[in-house]
Amino acid sequence: MVFAALTAYWSELHAGSARDRPLCELPSAAGVASLPGSGNDLALAIGTSAATLDVIDASYTIGLLYTGVMPEKVRAKLGA
């Protein structure tokens, strides 16, 4: 979900810009789960909404999503 939201954010941020830069690819070891339609719609909405914010607030919002979808045991181990 985070990658989908980040992809939507990046695309929205660079839409119609002469400085369109592709989003970096994930390392091959990083797995990205496919989302059902409603999950993908939610990630798209989060990403496009984040693009209306300044960079600091958008980064914070996407970071909250990242932390929120992290398994509880991982969050506890990392102190997130």
For the segment 29-66, what is each residue's pLDDT rounded down to a tens digit? Answer: 677 778 888 989 999 999 999 999 999 999 999 999 98
- For position 70, what pLDDT does the model report? 85
- For position 9, what pLDDT does the model report? 93
Q: 31 in a domain, yes or no?
A: no
Q: 41 in a domain, yes or no?
A: yes
Q: How many domains in the chain? A: 1
Q: What is the DSSP letter of 27?
A: P
Q: What is the DSSP letter of 57?
A: H
3-class SS of residue 39: helix
Q: 66 in a domain, yes or no?
A: yes
Report how far residue 80's alpha carbon sits from residue 39's, in angstroms, rounded to the nearest whole number. Answer: 23
- For position 1, what pLDDT does the model report? 87
Does the pTM of the predicted model rise above 0.85?
A: no
Q: 20 in a domain, yes or no?
A: no
Q: 57 in a domain, yes or no?
A: yes
Average pLDDT over residues 21-28: 78
**What one-letter code names the amino acid at 27?**
P
* Domain around 64: 1-13+36-80
Which two structure tokens, joined as six digits, stand for 10? Answer: 């990046």
Q: 4 in a domain, yes or no?
A: yes
Instruction: Look up tokens 């369109």; give the residue.
Output: 20
